[in-house]
Amino acid sequence: LQTEMTHLERLNLVGQMAAGIAHEIRNPLTTVRGYLQLMGSKREFQSLEPTFKLMIDELDRANMIISDYLALAKKSDSERCYQNINEILHRLYPLLEADTYAQNKKIVFAPGPTRDILLNTEEISQLVLNLCRNGIEAMGAGGTITLRTYCEDNHVVFSVQDEGSGIQAEYMDRLGTPFFTTKENGTGLGLSICYSIVERHGATIDIHSTPRGTTFFVRFPIPNGTYILLNQEGTINVR
């Protein structure tokens, strides 16, 4: 009888518990946010504009924390299909750009030639977002996030480089441990989610960090040999 839960199962359980209450918390947050926005736009509250902005930002932060917890729950429809990571990144790019520019930072996307591999679109988007968010948060004023993709040693590699002040050596071993955070307002869940997504894809994460910046490398193995795909129309694809 297996009574011990694996690391992934435990995280999944936390996510499921979050899912149970997320709705009940999000609905009132949405209502309050809506009214704050409405009131904040009225002339009689003009002098309180910074206060309204603060209140809305705080509600958004609470909402983001709920999202982090929800992402821990493994989706039952975690289906993967053969696709190019560059396409996922292109689709995500406007959102990433808006996020970085909102923090007065820059983002560069340098896609290289890659191969189609088995990817779950939603999970890979989450992985990219979490790594970029950490990169943005690691940089003080300004700075650039650089996203790269390329093939190397039979792997598709995706990397996120930031110009932050790096990760201290004593923290390295704890990265990805649920709830480990060095931030005042962090949940310490972002990297745990990344590691579980990477694990489900049979990929690995390597981290290169110096006091001038950090790069996260995600390596997806390219399956060997030829494989035959039957799509819904019954067409045969040989890769």
**Judged by CB, which is closer to ligand ADP: 81, or 207?**
207
Minimum distance of ligand ADP from residue 49's CB (angstroms)? 29
Q: Nearest to Mg ion by Cβ — which residue?
A: 190
The site partner of 175 among ligand ADP, Mg ion, none (C-beta below 5 to 8 Å per kind) is ligand ADP
**Judged by CB, which is closer to ligand ADP: 117, or 189?**
189
Minimum distance of Mg ion from residue 132's CB (angstroms)? 10
Nearest residue to 170 (alpha-carbon basis) of 205, 227, 130, 209? 209
- Taking CB atoms within 8 Å and a gap of at least 24, the contacts of 12-20 are 12/72, 12/73, 12/74, 14/69, 14/72, 14/178, 15/69, 15/70, 15/71, 15/72, 15/73, 15/74, 16/73, 18/66, 18/69, 18/70, 18/72, 18/73, 19/70, 19/73
Which residues bind to Mg ion, rule: CB under 5 A?
134, 190
Minimum distance of ligand ADP from residue 32's CB (angstroms)? 24
**Relative orientation angle of helices 49-70 and 7-40, to the nearest 10 degrees:** 160
Minimum distance of ligand ADP from residue 236's CB (angstroms)? 42
Minimum distance of ligand ADP from residue 169's CB (angstroms)? 12
Task: Read off φ and ψ for residue 230, nearest 5 degrees.
Answer: -110, 115
Inter-residue contact 178 to 188 (CB < 8 Å): yes
| 166 φψ region: left (φ > 0), alpha (ψ -120 to 50), beta (else) | left
Which residues bind to ligand ADP, rule: CB under 6 A?
134-135, 138, 162, 164, 167, 171, 175, 180-183, 186-192, 214
The site partner of 138 among ligand ADP, Mg ion, none (C-beta below 5 to 8 Å per kind) is ligand ADP
The site partner of 180 among Mg ion, ligand ADP, none (C-beta below 5 to 8 Å per kind) is ligand ADP
The site partner of 181 among Mg ion, ligand ADP, none (C-beta below 5 to 8 Å per kind) is ligand ADP
